[in-house]
Structure 1
Amino acid sequence: MDIDRMPLNEIWQEIDRKANEQPILLKDMNATYSFTITGNDEGTYGLTFSDGIATVIDGGINDADCSLTMSVDNFRKLLQGNLNSATAFMTGRLKVKGNIGLALKLENLLKKYSL
């Protein structure tokens, strides 16, 4: 799969599929995320983890535990493990509102899935 060529909506479908293939990795994860992706293929998405189930929502989540804003290029890099979220936050490539610890937890979770 070439994530660099996939449209954003297909990437989110793949995230949903991969996350729910291995629910054991999600068993202790209970959080809501809102993503605002900017750039050529922009969009707003929500991602919830509850009771071992991941759910992708087309559109943001207003009261998310953690809200992230980044470019589509940086989003792809994050998914591929080529962008450290702490460094991206410190350099302004990733904006986080809410629980910053959940942003780091999400990065670690994404590394367990090969997108």
Structure 2
Amino acid sequence: MSVENTFEQLTMKMNQDPSHLDGLSYVYQFDLSGSDEGKYQLKVENNQAEFKLGEPWEPRLTLAMSDKNFIKLANDDLNPTMAYMSGKLKVQGDLGHALKLQALIKKYQ
């Protein structure tokens, strides 16, 4: 599965059941390296989720990793704490919100 397909699946699940998005207003940026390399953003606002390629919004948290590790993270196959400690994941911004993102992703598996 490609990065874009992964984002499409994740945002579709979030929008079909927005109960876990209540009260969230956040922009996550993903700086990915690899075959699907690029910058992607996930915006959660007003109980809706959407993603865009590029940097259309001001991110509050940036996660840098390989595209393969992003797909693993989105499928809950990568422990974000271990990835961070081993250097596979770099975080700019509030580390607590990175952990909240992982909890959110788990709810949509």
Unmatched tracts of structure 2, length 5 or more: none
Worse overlay, 81-90 or 65-74: 81-90
Q: Distance in 2 between matches of 1:62 and 1:27?
A: 20
The reply on whether 1:86 has 2:86 as its aligned counterpart is no
The reply on whether 1:8 has 2:18 as its aligned counterpart is no
Letter in 2 for 1:30: S
Checking the alignment, whether the CA contact within 8 Å between 2:24 and 2:46 is kept in structure 1 is yes
TM superposition score normalised by structure 1: 0.87
Unmatched tracts of structure 1, length 5 or more: 1-5
Q: Distance in 1 between matches of 2:56 and 2:98?
A: 15
Which aligned pairs between 1:32-111 and structure 2 lie closer than 5 A?
32-60=27-55, 63-111=58-106
Runs of 4+ displaced beyond 2 Å: 60-63
TM superposition score normalised by structure 2: 0.91
Matched with 1:3 is: none
Checking the alignment, whether the CA contact within 8 Å between 2:21 and 2:48 is kept in structure 1 is yes
> How many pairs were matched up?
109
